[in-house]
Amino acid sequence: MTPTAPVPKPHVKTIATVCLSGTLDDKLVAAAHAGFDGIELFEPDLVASTSSPAEIRRRCQDLGLEIVLYQPFRDLDSTDPDQFARNLIRLDRKFDVMAELGVDLILVCSNASADAVADVDQLAAQLREAGDLASRRGTRIAYEALAWGREVDLWQQSWDAVRRADHPAVGLCLDSFHILSRSSTIDELAEVPGDKIFFLQLADAPHKDMDVLQWSRHYRLFPGEGAFDLVDFTASVLRAGYRGPLSLEVFNDVFRQSSPVRTAIDAVRSLGALEAGLDDALPRQRFDAAFVELSVTPTNLAVAESALSALGFTPSATHRSKRVTAWTQSAATILVTVTTDAPEDDSSAIAAIAFDAEDPTGFAASAEGLNVSALPRVVRPGEADLPAVAAPDGVSVFFVSTTSGGLDWRRDFDPVPGADGETGAGITGIDHVSVTAPFDRYDESVLFYRSVLGMRTDEVAEYPGPYGLVRSHLLRADPSGFGVALDGPLLRRGKWTPGVQTPQHVAFVTDDVIATLNALPPDAPILRIPANYYVDLRARLDLTDEFVESLREANVLYDRNAHGEYLHAYTTVIGSQVYFEIIERRGDYRGRPLADAPIRMAAHVAARRGKATTSG
Amino acid sequence: MTPTAPVPKPHVKTIATVCLSGTLDDKLVAAAHAGFDGIELFEPDLVASTSSPAEIRRRCQDLGLEIVLYQPFRDLDSTDPDQFARNLIRLDRKFDVMAELGVDLILVCSNASADAVADVDQLAAQLREAGDLASRRGTRIAYEALAWGREVDLWQQSWDAVRRADHPAVGLCLDSFHILSRSSTIDELAEVPGDKIFFLQLADAPHKDMDVLQWSRHYRLFPGEGAFDLVDFTASVLRAGYRGPLSLEVFNDVFRQSSPVRTAIDAVRSLGALEAGLDDALPRQRFDAAFVELSVTPTNLAVAESALSALGFTPSATHRSKRVTAWTQSAATILVTVTTDAPEDDSSAIAAIAFDAEDPTGFAASAEGLNVSALPRVVRPGEADLPAVAAPDGVSVFFVSTTSGGLDWRRDFDPVPGADGETGAGITGIDHVSVTAPFDRYDESVLFYRSVLGMRTDEVAEYPGPYGLVRSHLLRADPSGFGVALDGPLLRRGKWTPGVQTPQHVAFVTDDVIATLNALPPDAPILRIPANYYVDLRARLDLTDEFVESLREANVLYDRNAHGEYLHAYTTVIGSQVYFEIIERRGDYRGRPLADAPIRMAAHVAARRGKATTSG
């Protein structure tokens, strides 16, 4: 790579209308509201619109949106000269529309039909002829290799054709999905003159082992939400000299039916995070969980306090002006806040997670830069003014510091006399917090934790619950640090949903889970694990009868992999959706034993039904 | 194929617990309620259950369910002798569980892991050793080739291993998905002794171009709901001499989160339809649409009547005792029923479709045989007692005959004096009716029309609406006969659903759509199609300016394929969800031009918003 002049910043940010749900006007309003500079106009959105091209042009001008690309034009080249001639007429008619729209760039994608031209010189000659037409009409052509093109399906082939066409009005369109889905290298981009890259389309995607066309049409994601390295990709394109917009083109089944305003805000955030990544400016702070805040209704307070007490927690401090108590055990702190603002009498919820970092204001600044709204707070004189933002999963995220007085949450609390904060039952800290992301905002939630907190996905999985499949991400900023797990239904739930709708839990860590459990009082609300589980465990793994029996007696689930072991127990559900987990990791077992999740879920159902039977 | 003794009927019908949502007990109750004879116990359902194997055995006995199979046992064979020895111990422990359950057959599937045995003689020797163990425990092994097995992935390979194992306790398990997903032939089944086929698992699936494991785990369907020919497959297995249960094993994301009682009823119906197919007893009657019944609220009646009148319909008859009017034009009849039992003041709905056949009671009998509940009806003296059932899409299906007096719906109506029933605007009949199937009941709806009415899927497709992707089936009993189109959202809709939630429409047919439209009064509620559509149409297809202009003036959409042309226009939405289409087919254009659907949907949105603007 040769060094080039610095890239102008901030980049122009645009979005293809196909990314957003609704009518064309819904899409334009949403894109403008989110702060995009312009749009790629997806032809079917124009064709279905009741506004004329001239009206759309004016509407975009009024909204401050530039139309940077008209797309797509399919199947330009042809082995049949008559067909190619008809295709040029079709192209010319699109130039008429583009003139009315005031857009001078059209996306031509490689031919996926039976008459696609295989010979690169013939293809180049046809592109040159189209380029002549474009020049006469004052437009330009960005030629793109579809990953499923019949003859041209790699960007290198599209470049070969464009290079041979050697026409000022014919350049490349690079689309990250088409390139990264094929695992194509982009090293040769350094040989491509920057001004021959006419357009850059960005899309991320999860790994999928499926037909690439279906993968592309249904599962694309915004940069930072999937498994591709868009920072590296985009940096290569910019190093090659590309100076056009950073433009999003995402086909996604969920986004297609979600609020376009929300989706557009998520989309612009993904480009902000991408820019931060290009500048190496994503957060890299290490952090711990200062506290997790549990909000409970008055009727539920006693159950929550008794559960924490049974797990060895003690009240260590009380808030000076609010009904909040800090329950502490070693490095684990749970704030219990009484709320009267809950949907049900037995509601309990993880209301907040506080991240304890060296530079909390740095986190807050990067969140603001990503259009994450700060939460309004009422701060009384003398109280800590803690920066906080709302995560898409509904949890408030606080940025605090226990080393900087002004941002130390503890200054608002009075210590409970006599509380020593020592270990009660051996719990030493919080391993991770697990929350349920709303169906429409799952990918947005992943992006939030990755971009605002600099976390990375440690584990991505899918597991069967009794009432449907669940998808799951475990995110951490560093492999041994505090984690956030995002779970959510693979399909939006319908009416038949007898399980806990939006489970949340806090996973505590201990050095010896069986000793911890044995230290608990007999009425501790530990979830009973069915005997069948231990029979199967003994059949599956080479464990001694004594060890399996010790697990069974303590209601501990067990897993083992090549790196270590994972022993864990759960409480029953406190109120409507929250429970606790106690974890012991042996060796270097990362991630979570997700095969145990269905066991836990069925046991929670049984505990709930048993409770319903005994207490009505 | 050699003829064999007739197969005993009815077959024993069983279902794998993994097909159904809920806890194990939810599944057992649902299977028993639906009338299954037994279950395959899916091991994870047992492991997560709080009931012991002996308790599950008693529960099944109480419910009248036999446990016919324990499944699955994975990765039995191994290239590592120590590992194989451990696997036999694991198998022996499963035999302990099976003894408690009272089940004597276990499914062993081909090894998908790295230590799978490739050498067929070594594999056979290990199966033989497992067979010895099984014999000692009074059990048997059904060995199945997974479509993604590492060394054994075709049923022929599993048969080769079983044949060489040559052990009375080792036989085959055949699974239609694993076989048909690989497009394997089953011709060689004739060489397999019937008593070596220990078990038969049945699953259908839609065509998917994706990794076979993911296809299998997410998209299986009950027989008759997908694209495989299960009748042919099952007949071959029965001809080979198989005499065990017909058992369903379906992994499906939607069924996993839908009511298990409903799913089980749908499942048992699929086996009933399969049996009818084996007996060549599925309905084969030709039929027409006698009428489509539209229910409207009093406030909506004038709009509906004025729309029908504008389309050239005239009131031809009125019901003797109910507020129902028959509107007729040539062979098309719409009953308009006034209802006060609608969710909204402006509700209108397709309440019923009446199928006019030679033998309506034959249809009713076959529906009853498939557990489709007959609709209760109040019949007054002298009124026709028309058999009717409820389709899963919520529409009532009537079976009538215009050639048999007792089942002629018209006997309940008094003709309107002077009504001649002649053509008003050239509409000659009903081409198809399109209804929205509920998300959870889409596949059940497809099965309903295929099994109860003997219809076949003419066209299966997916198209983008402004508010999300839509899936679609067009079903007909014969290619030129009356059709039912089932549409539904590809994903369950969430809160952001500004479009018509459950559109329904009746598609009328005419010989000349432009003449028909020109014959309508100027205030006919024809949907305005945007000018952009015609600009694009002219660019896409080689049509004269004059022809495109005539389409534009009449608001007619146009498509052409290799077989013919399709011209069509729509009305605006009458009330909340119903509209009409007028179709002209030229040549042999089958199916529907689904690329026009997004245009129609966007135009409906525009018409609705325009109306909101002008009339409040």
What CATH number has the domain bearing residue B169? 3.20.20.150
Local structure of B309: helix, strand or coil: helix
Q: What is the pLDDT of residue A402?
A: 86
Average pLDDT for B153-172: 98
More confident residue, B497 or B107: B107
**Average pLDDT across chain A, whole number:** 93
Q: Could you tell me if B530 lies within 8 Å of chain A, comparing CB atoms?
A: yes
Residue B4 lies in a domain: no
Count the neighbouring beta carbons within 10 Å of the beta carbon of residue B356.
23
Distance CA A29, CA A35 (A): 10
Q: Which two tokens stand for residue A340?
A: 């009267």
Residue A240 lies in a domain: yes
Percent of chain B with pLDDT over 90: 80
In this complex, the residue of A53, A93, A539 whose CB is nearest that of residue B93 is A539
Average pLDDT for A288-307: 94
Q: What is the pLDDT of residue B27?
A: 98
Q: Could you tell me if B207 lies within 8 Å of chain A, comparing CB atoms?
A: no
* Chain A residues touching B530 at Cβ < 8 A: 47-51
In this complex, the residue of B211, B258, B603 whose CB is nearest that of residue A210 is B211
In this structure, the answer to whether residues B480 and B373 fall within a common structural domain is yes
CATH number at residue B396: 3.10.180.10
In this complex, the residue of A256, A468, A495 whose CB is nearest that of residue B469 is A256
Distance CA A599, CA B45 (A): 9
- Say if residues A119 and A73 touch (Cβ distance below 8 Å): no
Average pLDDT for A228-240: 96
Average pLDDT for B305-316: 96
Q: What is the pLDDT of residue B313?
A: 96
In this structure, the answer to whether residues B370 and B251 fall within a common structural domain is no
Distance CA B39, CA B247 (A): 8
- The yes-or-no verdict on residue A498 having pLDDT over 90 is no
- The yes-or-no verdict on residue B5 having pLDDT over 60 is no
Average pLDDT for A165-189: 94
Q: What is the 3-state secondary structure (H, E, C) of A219-259?
A: HCECCCCCCCCHHHHHHHHHHCCCCCCEEECCCECCHHHCC
Confidence class for position A2, pLDDT limits 50, 70, 90: very low
Which residues 379-418 of A are in CB contact (within 8 Å) with B? none
Q: DSSP characters for B233-288?
A: HHHHHHHTT--S-EEE---BTTGGGS-HHHHHHHHHHHHHHHHHHHTT-S----EE
Closest-CA distance of chain A to residue B526, Å = 15
Confidence class for position B179, pLDDT limits 50, 70, 90: very high
In this structure, the answer to whether residues A330 and A272 fall within a common structural domain is no
In this structure, the answer to whether residues A410 and A535 fall within a common structural domain is yes
In this structure, the answer to whether residues A248 and A345 fall within a common structural domain is no
A474-492 pLDDT, tens digit each: 999 988 899 999 999 999 9
In this structure, the answer to whether residues B315 and B262 fall within a common structural domain is no
Q: Could you tell me if A254 lies within 8 Å of chain B, comparing CB atoms?
A: yes
Q: Could you tell me if A39 lies within 8 Å of chain B, comparing CB atoms?
A: no
* Chain B residues touching A531 at Cβ < 8 A: 52
- Say if residues A241 and A193 touch (Cβ distance below 8 Å): yes
Residue B7 lies in a domain: no
B435-473 pLDDT, tens digit each: 999 999 999 999 999 999 999 999 999 999 999 999 999
Mean pLDDT lowest for which of A189-203, B200-214, B335-349?
B335-349
Distance CA A394, CA A461 (A): 22
Q: DSSP characters for A379-437?
A: --TTS----EEE-TTS-EEEEE-SSSGGG-GGGGEEEPTT-----SSSEEEEEEEEEEP
Give the residue among A360, A355, A356, A313 at the shortest CA–CA distance from A332.
A313
Q: What is the pLDDT of residue B575?
A: 87
Closest-CA distance of chain B to residue A241, Å = 35
Q: Could you tell me if A608 lies within 8 Å of chain B, comparing CB atoms?
A: no
Residue with tokens 């990314």, as numbered in its chain: A19
- The yes-or-no verdict on residue A181 having pLDDT over 80 is yes
Angle subtended at Cα B532 by Cα B526 and Cα B537, rounded to the nearest 5 degrees? 90
Q: What is the pLDDT of residue A422?
A: 63
Q: Could you tell me if A493 lies within 8 Å of chain B, comparing CB atoms?
A: yes
Q: What is the pLDDT of residue A613?
A: 41
In this structure, the answer to whether residues B219 and B322 fall within a common structural domain is no
- The yes-or-no verdict on residue B95 having pLDDT over 70 is yes
Percent of chain A with pLDDT over 70: 97
Residue B530 lies in a domain: yes
Domain boundary among B278, B295, B323: B278
In this structure, the answer to whether residues A243 and A112 fall within a common structural domain is yes
Domain boundary among B215, B250, B278: B278
Count the neighbouring beta carbons within 10 Å of the beta carbon of residue B143.
28
In this complex, the residue of B257, B468, B495 whose CB is nearest that of residue A491 is B257
* Chain A residues touching B613 at Cβ < 8 A: none
Average pLDDT for A410-433: 87
Residue with tokens 């090549």, as numbered in its chain: A562
In this structure, the answer to whether residues A127 and A55 fall within a common structural domain is yes
B269-299 pLDDT, tens digit each: 999 999 999 998 888 888 999 999 999 999 8
Percent of chain B with pLDDT over 70: 97
In this structure, the answer to whether residues B529 and B554 fall within a common structural domain is yes
* Chain A residues touching B210 at Cβ < 8 A: 209-211, 214
- The yes-or-no verdict on residue A139 having pLDDT over 70 is yes
**Average pLDDT across chain B, whole number:** 93
Question: Residue B459: left if φ>0, alpha if ψ -120 to 50, beta else—which one?
Answer: beta
Give the residue among B119, B133, B29, B27 at the shortest CA–CA distance from B73.
B133
Which residues 49-108 of B are in CB contact (within 8 Å) with A? 49-53, 86, 90, 93-94, 96-97
A4-63 pLDDT, tens digit each: 445 556 799 999 999 999 999 999 999 999 999 999 999 999 999 999 999 999 999 999
- The yes-or-no verdict on residue A612 having pLDDT over 60 is no
Q: What is the pLDDT of residue B614?
A: 37
Q: Do B531 and A94 touch (CB under 8 A)?
A: no
Q: Could you tell me if B377 lies within 8 Å of chain A, comparing CB atoms?
A: no
Q: What is the pLDDT of residue A1?
A: 40
The DSSP letter of residue A204 is: B
Q: Do A466 and B90 touch (CB under 8 A)?
A: no
Mean pLDDT lowest for which of A174-183, A342-351, A410-419, A593-602?
A342-351
Residue A8 lies in a domain: no
Residue with tokens 């606790």, as numbered in its chain: A580
Q: What is the pLDDT of residue B281?
A: 86
Distance CA A65, CA A245 (A): 13
Local structure of B568: helix, strand or coil: strand
Domain boundary among A239, A258, A278: A278
In this complex, the residue of A50, A254, A497 whose CB is nearest that of residue B491 is A254
Q: What is the pLDDT of residue B3?
A: 45
Confidence class for position B381, pLDDT limits 50, 70, 90: confident
Residue with tokens 């059940």, as numbered in its chain: B444
Domain that holds residue A18: 13-278
Q: What is the pLDDT of residue B421?
A: 56
Q: What is the pLDDT of residue B16?
A: 98
Average pLDDT for A260-265: 96
- Say if residues A557 and A446 touch (Cβ distance below 8 Å): no
Residue A4 lies in a domain: no
Average pLDDT for A446-474: 94
A361-409 pLDDT, tens digit each: 889 888 988 988 888 877 777 778 889 999 999 899 999 998 877 788 9
Q: What is the pLDDT of residue B497?
A: 76
In this structure, the answer to whether residues B295 and B238 fall within a common structural domain is no
Overall domain count for chain A = 2
Distance CA B310, CA B154 (A): 61
- The yes-or-no verdict on residue B568 having pLDDT over 90 is yes
Distance CA A78, CA A280 (A): 45
- The yes-or-no verdict on residue B108 having pLDDT over 90 is yes
In this structure, the answer to whether residues A476 and A533 fall within a common structural domain is yes
- Say if residues A178 and A144 touch (Cβ distance below 8 Å): yes
Residue B592 lies in a domain: yes
Residue A2 lies in a domain: no
- Among chain A residues, the shortest Cα distance to B489 is held by A257
